[in-house]
Amino acid sequence: MPDTEGPTASPHSPSILVTGATGNLGREIVARLAVRGARVRCLTRERGAARPGAEWVAGDLTDPGAVRRALVGIDAVFVIWPLLTSAPAHALIAELAAAAPRVVYLSSSAVDDEAAEQSDPIVRVHAEMEALLHDAGLRPVVLRSDTLASNARGWASQVRAGDVVSGPDMAPTAVVDERDVADAAVAVLLDDRGRLGAGPHVLTGPEVLGRAGQVARLGAALGRDLRFVALAPGLARSRMLADGRPEPLVEALVAASERRPASRRVTDHVERLAGRPAGTFARWALEHTAEFR
Ligand SMILES: NC(=O)c1ccc[n+]([C@@H]2O[C@H](COP(=O)([O-])OP(=O)(O)OC[C@H]3O[C@@H](n4cnc5c(N)ncnc54)[C@H](OP(=O)(O)O)[C@@H]3O)[C@@H](O)[C@H]2O)c1
């Protein structure tokens, strides 16, 4: 790799490939790996996304050539799969199997090992990705994340415009701070002896919250009386389509809102991996007020 790594990287530092590196979670992982002295390579479709502290390579997760180039010399890979079907993942899996790095896969806490069928398309894709990685003999470390607190960024324009946040409702779960998921991911990415185990590690926050609870806590952080208004599925669908969201994504979100069950599950897996307890959504809100003003 060129000498664009973090300040303490050395030729003996592990080389880590991060997919989804420009995203809410990926950005946090890249920053932490650089501080820890890892050599970091990031895969992005965006030209001009490069930032200091890592090597940036252009490519799509569905492009086997790009994935092959990105994997050269890599010890461990943080894999996300943001697509709504697992079918195009076969090329990625084949490249991973050929290069044989350690694989950390970011899945969903909504995956239900006991269910004959997963609740909705997004969860189904994560369950299929876990199975594909296992079946390819990659022995992935699986992180099953709860809803990321950073999803609340999607409400910023509504919060700036008024006191009501509306959208499809989602069953309550233990929303997790993406910085906690990043700490857990970094711990397993750097765990070259596998001491932390393959999981699935179920990463949750400490408190079960619905949309209304999240919006109320965001309001408290901003010193405002914000409230959430749940839209019926038909109205939520037409609003999201009018906002320009792709139809398959809109259908997947509506299905999640209608079918994903509530979860009261709160785990200590962030603490087990990261060495400190997970933070609350209220703390996340207090630390991100500037993004909502
Ligand atoms: N958000 C949640 O509540 C949640 C919960 C559990 C699991 N997850 C998983 O976590 C992942 C990351 O979440 P996030 O909130 O950080 O996502 P995000 O902010 O929406 O970022 C999405 C990332 O995916 C990358 N990407 C999208 N399509 C790609 C493609 N075809 N090839 C290569 N890269 C592609 C984007 O990179 P470029 O645009 O730079 O190419 C971007 O870095 C999700 O995709 C999901 O699978 C999320």
Confidence at residue 49, expressed as pLDDT on a 0 to 100 scale = 82
148 ligand 1 Cβ < 6 A: yes
CATH number for 15-147+177-204+264-279: choose from 2.60.450.10, 1.10.3720.10, 3.40.50.1970, 3.40.50.720. 3.40.50.720
The model's confidence at residue 7, banded by pLDDT at 50, 70 and 90, is low
- Least confident among 17-21, 46-50, 149-153: 46-50
**pLDDT above 60 for 287:** yes
CB 138 within 8 A of CB 104: no
For a pocket test of ligand 1, which of 51, 80, 170 has the largest count of ligand atoms closer than 8 A to its C-beta? 80
256 ligand 1 Cβ < 6 A: no
Tokens of 26: 């990926």
Sheet holding 102-108, edge to edge: 55-58, 39-44, 15-19, 76-79, 102-108, 141-145, 201-203
Per-residue b/e over 78-100, b at no fewer than 16 CB within 10 Å?
Answer: bbbbeeeebeebebbbebbeebe
Confidence at residue 1, expressed as pLDDT on a 0 to 100 scale = 41
Which atom of ligand 1 has the smallest separation from the CA of 60? 32
Q: pLDDT tens digits, residue range 131-180?
A: 999 999 999 999 999 999 999 999 999 999 999 999 999 999 999 999 99
Q: What's the residue count for the chain?
A: 293
